[in-house]
Structure 1
Amino acid sequence: MQLANKKLDWDEFLHIRQEVLNTWPTGREVDLAEAVAYQSGIPVSRRFAEKLAQAKQEKLTLAQPRAGVALVHEHIELLRYLQDEGGADLLPTTIDSYTRQNRYQEAQSGIEESRSVGRSMLNGFPAVNHGVAACREVTEALTVPVQVRHGTPDARLLAEITLAGGFTAYEGGGISYNIPYAKDVPLERSIRDWQYVDRLVGYYEEQGISINREPFGPLTGTLVPPCVSHSVAIIEALLAAEQGVKSITLGYGQCGNLTQDVAAVRSLEELADEYLNRFGYHNVVITTVFHQWMGGFPQDESKAFGVISWGAATAALAKATKVIVKTPHEALGIPTKEANAAGIRATKQVLNMLKDQPLPEFEDLRQEKELIKEETRSILEKLLDFGDGDIALGTVRGFQAGIIDVPFAPSRYNAGRLLPARDHQGAVRLLDFGNLPFREDIKEIHREKIKQRGQTEGRDPSFQMVIDDIYAIGKGMLVGKPR
């Protein structure tokens, strides 16, 4: 059967579901009717979609950290600390790497080893292994909404267990949790698997239970051009909406230039509304998430707080609905709960200071917004052409042709020809356009801005600029200028 952006037939879904639930013993704990009844009893104060919708209406930016450890009670202790001492508005449960690759037996070994040595030997919470009851123990122990955050090309069983377990938001998508994360997973397969996830979320919605869905915005990090991450976000929003999802949060990773970052967040929401309405998805609530710096961090904690605070300020001025918070230990490894809470407090201080300060749409900001929109539309329209009007089919064909291309991605289903670099003001531009379907006047804007940087630095634009930009923040700057 050819891939298509078409709502999954319910009987077909149920047929696939039996195979999914049999993947690991805890899958047999999931009773969909009982899970719906359980979700319906979760109070509004712990429902992700409702809290995001309220924040959007009030033009507030909510703070959410990343966190996850191997054992249930230790995970609860960590999240309670981030809630009570950090003041997190929303909480995560970051899933471990074994679970992300559906390697549940190895995740089980990690649980047992963690119990043996008395500390987490996994880099996240193995929700599939722990099962439905343990997930409910986690979500019931907290007073704010909790989201599942992971990085899984095939996240079907994880979705079944965690939604039955009381989580009210679920991150990821068939592109954003494949191309940046996996080498050998066919894009057509991951899109199909995520259609299953979205059909499950859509079923909950049909029963009056809104589960928030969030494609992963930053993709491969801090040098991803906004038009690329926007295109992926909007594709995944269209795929989710077709399956019945009504609460969608679209993400963008901080690139570092204030004007470009604010323009990106604002244009993302506007473009999403444009395309969802165009295809008849009129009752979807779109919110935005801004990811603080996803690249290398300074080792010095004081400098790291500077990076965190700049991300918080940008999120507030862009009026993103939420911000994903980093910690001052990013350069050192897994943070302590104290460092994680400190990052949240620093972020919330800045958010509170700026919440009533709008950033007017000055001319440079307006121009940047229009440029991002034109670039994104160029990609999306060509993908629709490739798919004869079907965005799912067009996406697979478009990645094959390099019409959409994620820089630095490991996937062999990605062309990998795109080469970004910063201009002299730190905005992300393109040195090599690959096969992106841009008009010549758009390409000339990129060429001219990178040329200006070269003239400022006294060197010809080259791949060395890209290398310098990757390491710049760790050295105390944004643009990787030669010494």
Structure 2
Amino acid sequence: MTGAGFGGFVRRAHDAGQLVVQPRMGMSEPARMRAGLLATRDAAATTVGTLTLDSYTRVGDLESAELALLEGVSLNGYPLVSHTEDTTRQVLDGIRGQHFPVQVRHGSAAPQDIFRALLAVGLDASEGGPVSYCLPYGRVPLRESMANWSASCDILASLRETGAEPHLETFGGCVLGQLCPPSLLVAVSALEALFFYRHGIRSISASYAQQTNARQDAEAVAALRSLCGELLPDAEWHVVVYAYMGLYPETPQGAYRLLGQAAELAVASGSERLIVKTVAESRRIPEVGENVAALEYAASVAARTERAPRPGTGSQTYAEASALVNAVLEMDDDLGQALLGAFALGYLDVPYCLHPDNAGLSRSYIDADGRLGWSDIGRMPLSGIAEVRPSRGITSSGLIASLSYIRRSFDTESGAGAADGIGVGA
């Protein structure tokens, strides 16, 4: 049912020349959540709404979520499973619709209850993935996450029997999205998109998080678009860019400059949607007004940026990502089993990720221009493909310096100038 639901809304906006912008937003109090959705809908931008869930719900600690509601304790998100269906319907009433779809964002390695709850209140869009909502967030075994996500995709796909078109967004392009060379982000995002597809989902978005070099980001998004075109030939898909996920600039001018580059990347690369960040990100959870300001600023930058998609298949990022994807697909016809095998053998290996199911042999570095590269590929099938620059090992101070690269670059006049100089189209 192409053109329906969340994905159809984004496609129509893109065809009309508009970038869809979206906040991360979740409040436990229904009245505040409704007010946040209204403010998002009424912003001077083409927007979609977000129900971001609380951390108790994310890890399945529903007893604590329910206790917090009983005691009137505010949570760091909306406890969708613990609120009554009538309560959530009242939050959405008159707001959510074909002109303003709402997505549930959660962070769970076991989202079955979340998916059942969102379907029960008439929602049809969510996000995550069996790898990306497992490795960075805890110690849930990857095999359990794979089984949970298989069941969850089946729950969501069942909605197609009613004529609706459920939508899933990969989080793979953001998996430990700091100090992770883009080729691995692109590969995991593409593989999670294919995982959704093989479980019956036909409206899909593939994510990519802004990294430390804008030219490399443009190359990565082009590679991701090419891989999605190859892997999802008859699906309705789009690409969503995330504003930088790491340590955010502390100054307003630095934060806006970085968000502006994210909007430029999204539009210039032909991407259809952008998840924004705000001036408050370095200090606290943003307020509704700060989210609206970020949405409107990103939309204003997008409006004056021209689309300039790059060829997707001739780059170093594409060569590496394609090699990783093909190596996984050759392991097993069952993609879930193939992903498990790939991590067990170290064919996929996230730098600096401490999860027990991650090999932990790969390492990366940031060069003088901000490009992310490999200093050790471990057992990943990238020999002769990736340029590897061996290092003597990274110290704790070196790791902290790398993690704060963007903050320093955008908060200092000299550094901000250097960062601006690597902008899309420069």
Same fold? TM cut 0.5: yes
> Which residue in 1 is equivalent to 2:144?
189
What's the CA shift string for 1:129-175, capped at 9, x where partnerless? 01322222222241511000010000001101112212231111111
Give 3-state SS (helix, strand or coil) of 1:386's partner.
coil
> Which residue in 1 is equivalent to 2:114?
158
Q: Matches of 2:354 and 2:194 in 1, distance apart?
A: 25
Q: Matches of 1:61 and 1:433 in 2, distance apart?
A: 36
What's the CA shift string for 1:337-365, capped at 9, x where partnerless? 111111111111101111xx23264xxx7
> Which residue in 2 is equivalent to 1:84?
42
Which aligned pairs between 1:85-104 and structure 2 lie closer than 5 A?
85=43, 87=45, 89-104=47-62
> Which residue in 2 is equivalent to 1:384?
329
Letter in 2 for 1:395: L
Give 3-state SS (helix, strand or coil) of 1:92's partner.
strand
Q: Matches of 1:60 and 1:439 in 2, distance apart?
A: 41
1:126 and 2:82 are equivalent in the alignment: no
Contact 1:63 1:90 in 2 (8 A): yes
Q: Shift in Å at residue 201 of structure 1?
A: 2.1
> Which residue in 2 is equivalent to 1:399?
343
Give 3-state SS (helix, strand or coil) of 1:159's partner.
helix
Q: In proportion to residue count, which structure has more helix?
A: 1
Q: Matches of 1:446 and 1:55 in 2, distance apart?
A: 41
Q: Matches of 1:225 and 1:163 in 2, distance apart?
A: 36
Which aligned pairs between 1:421-440 and structure 2 lie closer than 5 A?
421-440=365-384
Q: Matches of 2:370 and 2:393 in 1, distance apart?
A: 14
Give 3-state SS (helix, strand or coil) of 1:75's partner.
helix
Moved more, 327-336 or 423-432: 423-432
Letter in 2 for 1:358: R
**Please, which of 203, 209, 219 is the counterpart of residue 175 of structure 2?**
219
Size of the alignment, in residue pairs? 408
Contact 1:61 1:319 in 2 (8 A): no
Divergent runs of 4+, >6 A: 478-481
Q: Matches of 2:14 and 2:251 in 1, distance apart?
A: 35
Contact 1:262 1:314 in 2 (8 A): yes
> Which residue in 2 is equivalent to 1:168?
124
Q: Matches of 1:76 and 1:87 in 2, distance apart?
A: 18
> Which residue in 1 is equivalent to 2:163?
208
Give 3-state SS (helix, strand or coil) of 1:214's partner.
strand
**Please, which of 17, 27, 32 is the counterpart of residue 74 of structure 1?**
32
Q: Shift in Å at residue 59 of structure 1?
A: 5.1
Q: Shift in Å at residue 366 of structure 1?
A: 6.5
Q: Which structure 2 residue ranges, 5 or more long, are not aligned? A: 419-426
1:291 and 2:238 are equivalent in the alignment: no
> Which residue in 2 is equivalent to 1:468?
401
Inter-CA distance 373–108: structure 2 relative to 1 (3 Å threshold): same
Give 3-state SS (helix, strand or coil) of 1:343's partner.
helix
Q: Matches of 1:141 and 1:471 in 2, distance apart?
A: 43
Which aligned pairs between 1:22-421 and structure 2 lie closer than 5 A?
47-58=5-16, 60-85=18-43, 87=45, 89-113=47-71, 115=72, 121-143=74-96, 144-183=100-139, 185-216=140-171, 217-276=173-232, 282-354=233-305, 357-359=306-308, 361=310, 370-387=315-332, 389-421=333-365
Give 3-state SS (helix, strand or coil) of 2:216's partner.
helix
Q: Which structure 1 residue ranges, 5 or more long, are not aligned? A: 1-39, 277-281, 452-459
Q: Matches of 2:354 and 2:55 in 1, distance apart?
A: 16
Task: Compute the TM-score of the two structures, normalised by the length of structure 2.
Answer: 0.89
Contact 2:40 2:47 in 1 (8 A): no
Q: Shift in Å at residue 473 of structure 1?
A: 2.1
Q: Matches of 1:338 and 1:220 in 2, distance apart?
A: 28
Inter-CA distance 68–88: structure 2 relative to 1 (3 Å threshold): farther
Contact 1:252 1:291 in 2 (8 A): yes
Q: Shift in Å at residue 419 of structure 1?
A: 1.4
Aligned-pair identity in percent equals 27
Letter in 2 for 1:301: P
Q: Shift in Å at residue 426 of structure 1?
A: 1.2
Moved more, 304-313 or 470-479: 470-479
Q: Shift in Å at residue 477 of structure 1?
A: 4.6
| Higher gyration radius (CA) | 1
Q: Matches of 2:130 and 2:321 in 1, distance apart?
A: 19
Letter in 1 for 2:136: P
Letter in 2 for 1:189: E
Give 3-state SS (helix, strand or coil) of 1:381's partner.
helix
Q: Matches of 1:149 and 1:410 in 2, distance apart?
A: 24
Q: Shift in Å at residue 318 of structure 1?
A: 1.3
